[in-house]
Amino acid sequence: MNYTDRTYREHFRRDRWIYFAAKYKETDLYIGVDDQSWTAELPAFTGDYIRELRNEMDGWIAGHPAYASALSPYAAPADAPGIFREMSAVAEKSGIGPMSAVAGAVARQTGIALKSRFGLKEVIVENGGDIYADLTADIDIAVFAGTSPLSEKVGLHIEAAYAPLGICTSSGTVGPSLSFGKADAVMIVCRDVLLADTYATAFANTVQTTDDIPACIEKIRGKTDILGAIAIKDDKIGICGNFGLKLF
């Protein structure tokens, strides 16, 4: 199932942030900005920014096809742009290919650029289920898990003291991203959104049935750089980390 219409965005809070979309090629961002920081210049600036960022990234990737297709850790050359070296570094920790961190990387770079340019108080950038969040107050995040009866019924209470951070979700049953598992959702929270992104994919790869949920959560517990996690398959859920379970 391919939820390219991203209907889960309809449930994002409207009382705290003003939202707008920014799209270019495969990049499809949904950005929330606190209402006090809102300016009408934001959408146009963001559109120009992601176009420039994607063109630069695509240009480098075109010359390094082995990097783009790697399914295991792959070291970026020393002269590669910093974003690709960072993606390689986090992939070394997750054990999969560096492109597993690309959505989180684009979300983070966009969020940082917007805060720097406009002095935003809060910004949240969602990129295909991967979120970069720079917050001043706590938030509750529901897990979108496709047809699972738990989808958008459970989530995490995220404390702003940990921000900025990454909240990333991977699935083997939802969306177009490559996954070797059948998890309905694995959500990972890390201070580094690139790390959260690649970990989410790596751990989602390990879930084929509901019986795999306990082992997946136990492996996640062993990663000290993961702040919190939820794994969902069908009607089963596992949770661990610093954040409380939230029911919606």
Q: Which pLDDT value is given to residue 1? A: 36
R_g (Cα) of the chain, nearest Å: 17
- 233 within a domain of the structure (yes/no): yes
**How many whole angstroms separate alpha carbon 77 and alpha carbon 170?**
28
Please state, as a whole number, how many other Cβ atoms lie within 10 Å of the Cβ of residue 218: 11
Strand 27-34 to strand 154-158: parallel, antiparallel, or no bridges (unpaired)?
Answer: unpaired
Q: Which pLDDT value is given to residue 144? A: 92
| Structural domain of 41 | 9-247
- 1 within a domain of the structure (yes/no): no
- 234 within a domain of the structure (yes/no): yes
What one-letter code names the amino acid at 141?
I
Average pLDDT over residues 29-55: 97
Q: Please say whether the dihedral angle defined by the alpha carbons of residues 24, 28, 138 and 199, taken in this order, is positive or negative.
A: negative
* Number of independent structural domains in the chain: 1
pLDDT band at 179; cut points 50, 70, 90: confident
| pTM greater than 0.85 (yes/no) | yes
pLDDT band at 181; cut points 50, 70, 90: confident
- 195 within a domain of the structure (yes/no): yes
The answer to whether 112 and 120 are in contact (CB under 8 A) is no
The 3-state DSSP class for residue 24 equals strand
The 3-state DSSP class for residue 146 equals coil
Strand 130-134 to strand 165-170: parallel, antiparallel, or no bridges (unpaired)?
Answer: antiparallel
End-to-end, the C-alpha distance of the chain in Å comes to 24
Per-residue pLDDT tens digits for 208-237: 999 999 999 999 999 999 999 999 999 999
Please state, as a whole number, how many other Cβ atoms lie within 10 Å of the Cβ of residue 189: 26
Helices marked H in 63-172: 65-69, 82-94, 102-118
Helices marked H in the chain: 42-62, 65-69, 82-94, 102-118, 193-204, 213-221
pLDDT band at 241; cut points 50, 70, 90: very high
Q: What is the CATH number of the domain that holds 66?
A: 3.10.520.10
- 4 within a domain of the structure (yes/no): no
- 165 within a domain of the structure (yes/no): yes
- 3 within a domain of the structure (yes/no): no
- 74 within a domain of the structure (yes/no): yes
**How many whole angstroms separate alpha carbon 241 and alpha carbon 111?**
25
Per-residue pLDDT tens digits for 67-87: 999 999 999 999 999 999 999
Nearest to 137 by CA among 122, 126, 124: 122
